[in-house]
Amino acid sequence: MWNYYNPVDVVFGENKFSEIHKILENKKYVVVTHPEEIFKKYTDQLNTSSNPPLMVMTEVQPNPDYLDILTLLKNFASIAKEVDHVVAIGGGSVTDTAKALAAFKGNENLLTDFVRNKKTPYVDDPISIIAVPTTSGTSSELTCWATIWDKEKNGKLSLAHKSLYPLKAIIDPVIMLDKPKGLTISTGLDALSHSMESIWNINANPVSAMHGIVGSQLIIENLPLLANDLKNITLRSNVARACVHAGLAFSNTKTAIAHNISYPITLNYGIQHGIACSFSLPMILRSMLDINDEAENRLKMIFNDDLISSATKLESILRQLNIPLNLNELKINKDEWNKIVGDAFMGERGKNFLGNKNAFDKAVDESNFF
Ligand SMILES: NC(=O)c1ccc[n+]([C@@H]2O[C@H](COP(=O)([O-])OP(=O)(O)OC[C@H]3O[C@@H](n4cnc5c(N)ncnc54)[C@H](O)[C@@H]3O)[C@@H](O)[C@H]2O)c1
Ligand SMILES: [Fe+2]
C-alpha cells in the first residue's frame, strides 16, 4: 500500500524562462532573488515588460536567516494582500524565502511564533509561488517545505505545509550556465544526496524510488564531467533533470540520516550543505548491506553493482570532486563526530533511515574515516 503525490507543474527546457511573461500576464506579483549582479538580467526583463512586478526583493543571503526574513516580511506587509504570485528566481535560499513570504503574507508574528515560540506554523491559503531555480540542487521548487535558519539560536527549522508546493517550476538549464565550479559541485551533490536518501528511507514507495535511482544515475554520470566543462549545456540539462527526479523522489519521503548528520556540520563547521550531506553517502551505502532487500536492490541499480563495490565507486567520484572524505579532512574530532552521529540517529530525519547505527558504525570503521 502506498500513495505518491506531487502537484507542481514543471516547465523544463533551454530558454524556457521566457514563458514567465505569459504566466504572469494580468497578474500582480513580487520577485524574490539574490543580490548579485548576474541575477539583474532576469529582473530587468520583468521590470521592462508590459506587466512589471509590484516589488523586487534582492536581500536574500545563502541559508536564509529568521532575522533577514523578518525584515523582508515587514517590507512585504504593505502589498501582501493584493499579490497573486511570489516569483522566486534563485537557489534554494530564494525559493525557501519565497515560501516564508507566501505562507506568512507579511505577518511577522506568524514567523516569530513558528521560529522562536516553536508553534506549529500557521499557514492558511498561501500566495502561490512560481519558482525559477538557478541552482540544480535543493529541488525546493518541487517540495512543500522550506529551511529557515536561526543563526542567533544555532537552529534550523523546516517550514512544512502541504499548500506550499510551488504552483509552477520553470527549469531552464541556460540560467545555470553561470554557476561557478564549487557551487555546481556542492548543489549537484545535494541532489545526489536527496536521491539516495529517498531510497534508504522508511517512506519510500515504488515511484519515489524509481525517481531516486534515475536522479542518482544522472548525477553520477554527468556531474564529474560538468565539473570540468561548466558551459556544456547538455551536461547542465542532464544535471537539472537529475534534480527534477531528486525532487520528485524526496518530496514524497523527506531526507534521512545523511541530512541529519549534515546540519551540525554546516552550522558549526561552516561546511556547505551539499558537501556536508554527501561525504557520508558511501559509508551509508555500505551500511545498507543485508538490511532491507527492496532498498538494497534499488541501490544496486544505481551503479549496477553490489553495495560494497558501489560504495567504492562513489568514494572515488567524490574524491575526484575534492570532497573531504575523512575526519581529518573535515576537521572534526572523533568525540564531536560520535556526538553528531548519536544525535543524528535520534533526529527527525535520522528516524527516516531504514538502516541502523550498529551497521553504520561498522561501515565507518571499514571506510578509513578516522
Ligand atoms: N526546501 C527544500 O526542500 C530544501 C532542500 C535542501 C536544501 N534547502 C536549503 O536551500 C538552501 C541552499 O540553496 P542552494 O544550495 O540552492 O544555494 P543558495 O540559494 O543558498 O545560493 C548559494 C549562492 O549561489 C549563488 N547562485 C545561485 N544561483 C546561481 C547561478 N545560477 N549562478 C551563479 N551563482 C548563483 C547565490 O547568489 C548564492 O550566493 C539552504 O538554506 C538549504 O538548507 C532547501
Ligand atoms: Fe539537501
Q: Find how far residue 317's CA is from the centre of its chain.
A: 21
In terms of Cβ atoms closer than 10 Å to its own Cβ (0-12, 13-18, 19+), residue 113 is middle
Per-residue pLDDT 10s for the chain (370 aa) are 999 999 999 999 999 999 999 999 999 999 999 999 999 999 999 999 999 999 999 999 898 999 999 999 999 999 999 999 999 999 999 999 999 999 999 899 999 999 999 999 999 999 999 999 999 999 999 999 999 999 898 888 999 999 999 999 999 999 999 999 999 999 999 999 999 999 999 999 999 999 999 999 999 999 999 999 999 999 999 999 999 999 999 999 999 999 999 999 998 999 999 999 999 999 999 999 999 999 999 999 999 999 999 999 999 999 999 999 999 999 999 999 999 999 999 999 999 999 999 999 999 999 989 9
The alpha carbon of 58 and the centre of ligand 1 are apart by a number of angstroms equal to: 14
Indicate if ligand 1 lies below 6 Å from the C-beta of 176.
yes
Residues 6+ apart with CB under 8 A from 26: 51
Provide the terminal-to-terminal Cα distance of the chain, rounded to the nearest Å: 42
In terms of Cβ atoms closer than 10 Å to its own Cβ (0-12, 13-18, 19+), residue 357 is middle
Indicate if ligand 1 lies below 6 Å from the C-beta of 92.
yes
User: Grid coordinates standing for 247?
Assistant: 525532487
Q: Name the residue among 186, 249, 260 with its Cα closest to residue 217.
A: 249
Superfamily of domain 179-365: Dehydroquinate synthase-like - alpha domain (1.20.1090.10)
Domain ranges in the chain?
Answer: 9-174, 179-365
Contact 259, 198 (CB under 8 A): no
CA max distance for the chain = 62
DSSP alpha helix (H) spans, the chain? 20-23, 40-47, 66-76, 92-104, 108-115, 181-197, 206-227, 233-250, 257-269, 273-276, 281-287, 293-303, 307-320, 327-330, 334-346, 357-365
What's the CATH fold of domain 9-174?
Rossmann fold (3.40.50)
pLDDT at 154: 81
Ligand 1 pocket mutation pick from 39, 61, 132, 138 by most atoms within 8 angstroms of CB: 138
Q: Name the residue among 251, 249, 232, 118 with its Cα closest to residue 177.
A: 232
Q: Which residues of 182-211 are buried (b: 16+ CB within 10 A; e: fewer)?
A: ebbbbbbbbbbbbbbbbbbbeebbebbbbb
